Amino acid sequence: MSEAAYAPPSAEPAAHPIAEFRGVSKRFGEVLAADDLNLSIRTGEFLSFLGPSGCGKTTALRMLAGFESPTSGEVFLDGEVVNDLAPYRRPVNMVFQHYALFPHLTVAQNIGYGLRQRRPKPPRDEIARKVRAALEIVRLEGFENRRIWEMSGGQQQRVALARAIVNEPKLLLLDEPMAALDRKLRKEMQIELQNIQRRLGITFILVTHDQEEALSMSDRICIMRDGRIVQTGTPRELYDQPRNRYVAGFVGTSNFFDGVVERADAYRARVTLGCGIALEGRVLAPVAAGQAVSVSVRPEQIRLARTATGGETGWEVTILNRIFLGEHTEYLVKHDGLGEFMVLTPRQAELSDGPFNAGERLTASWEATSALVLDNDQAPQAN
Partner 1 sequence: MRIYATFVYLFLYIPIGVIALFSFNAGRHASQFQGFSVQWYGKALANPFVMDALQTSLVVAFVSALCASVFGTMAAVALQGIRGPVRAAFDLLIYVAVMVPGIVIGIATLIGLVTIFGQLNPILAALWPGAAPPQLAMGYGSLIAAHTLFTMALVIIIIRARLAGMDRALTEASSDLYATPMGTFRQVTLPLIFPAILAGFLLSFTFSFDDFIIAFFVAGSETTLPIYVFSSIRRGVTPEINAIGTMVLAASLILLVTAQVLLRTGRRRG
Smallest distance from partner 1 to CB 175, Å: 9
Q: Which is nearer to partner 1, 108 or 333 (CB)?
A: 108
Smallest distance from partner 1 to CB 181, Å: 17
Torsion of CA 223, 224, 229, 230, to 10 degrees: -60
Q: Which is nearer to partner 1, 94 or 362 (CB)?
A: 94
Phi, psi of 107 (to 5 degrees): -60, -50
Contacts of 183 (CB under 8 A, 6+ apart): none
Q: Which is nearer to partner 1, 148 or 230 (CB)?
A: 148
User: Following DSSP, what letter does each residue of 350-361 receive, concatenated?
Assistant: HHHH----TT-E
Q: Which is nearer to partner 1, 83 or 301 (CB)?
A: 83
Smallest distance from partner 1 to CB 100, Å: 4
Smallest distance from partner 1 to CB 69, Å: 14
Long-range contacts: 1-7, Cβ < 8 Å, 24+? 1/285, 3/38, 3/229, 3/231, 3/232, 3/243, 5/285, 6/241, 6/243, 6/284, 6/285, 7/232, 7/233
Q: Which residues, listed in sequence order, are joined to residue 272 by a DSSP beta bridge? A: 260, 278
Smallest distance from partner 1 to CB 87, Å: 4
Smallest distance from partner 1 to CB 75, Å: 16
Alpha-carbon distance of 355 to 357, in angstroms, equals: 6
Which residue, among 349, 360, 283, 41, has the nearest Cα to 173 in the 3D structure? 41
Q: Which is nearer to partner 1, 119 or 183 (CB)?
A: 119
Torsion of CA 237, 240, 244, 249, to 10 degrees: 110
Smallest distance from partner 1 to CB 86, Å: 7
Alpha-carbon distance of 245 to 231, in angstroms, equals: 11
Which residue, among 50, 37, 7, has the nearest Cα to 285 in the 3D structure? 7
Edge-to-edge strand ranges of the sheet holding 80-81: 31-42, 17-28, 72-77, 80-81
Smallest distance from partner 1 to CB 92, Å: 7
Beta strands in the chain (DSSP E): 17-28, 31-42, 46-50, 72-77, 80-81, 92-95, 171-175, 203-208, 220-225, 228-233, 255-264, 268-273, 278-283, 292-297, 303-305, 314-324, 328-335, 339-346, 361-365, 372-375
Q: Which is nearer to partner 1, 116 or 263 (CB)?
A: 116
Q: Which is nearer to partner 1, 102 or 324 (CB)?
A: 102
Q: Which is nearer to partner 1, 137 or 317 (CB)?
A: 137
Alpha-carbon distance of 142 to 235, in angstroms, equals: 38
Helix axis angle for 153-165 and 183-200, nearest 10°, is 20
Smallest distance from partner 1 to CB 126, Å: 16
Q: Which is nearer to partner 1, 94 or 181 (CB)?
A: 94
Q: Which is nearer to partner 1, 110 or 232 (CB)?
A: 110
- Residues forming contacts to partner 1 in the complex (CB under 8 A) are 65-67, 86-89, 92-94, 96-98, 100-104, 113-114, 117-118, 149, 163, 167
Smallest distance from partner 1 to CB 186, Å: 20
